Amino acid sequence: MSAPLVVSIPHRLGREEAVRRLKTGLGRAAAASIPVMQVEEERWSGDSMNFRIRALGQIATGQVDVADDHVKVQVVLPWLLQRFAEMAQATIRKRGQLLLGKDAKS
């Protein structure tokens, strides 16, 4: 098992608004970012979400933790997807910033 890919995305929305935006926009953001990726499961518990995605026939799992001033995303990639880790990290950061930006509309 590889170490998880971790991305921290700062925001100024407060915890409640950040959670609201993520709940309404996460699936759309994932599909728009990486067309070959599909969110298979999204399970919220308070301010944390566990998820499972499928990309290129492989399953990746992860967790999103929302804090007052940042969101931490952790994703465990199967070995076949690890070569795309750097691209995935940049994409997660970019889409997260778009969802959590002050001017974002959800």
The model's pLDDT over 74-103, given as tens digits with 9 standing for 90+, comes to: 999 888 888 888 888 888 888 888 889 866
Using an 8 Å Cβ cutoff, are 11 and 27 in contact? no
Question: Tokens 């998820």 identify what position?
Answer: 51
Span 30-57, pLDDT tens digits? 555 566 678 889 999 999 999 998 888 8
Between CA 40 and CA 37 the distance in angstroms is 9
pLDDT at 60 over 50: yes
Between CA 2 and CA 77 the distance in angstroms is 7
Please give the residue that has the higher pLDDT: either 29 or 2: 2
Mean pLDDT (whole number) for 15-19: 95
pLDDT at 106 over 50: no
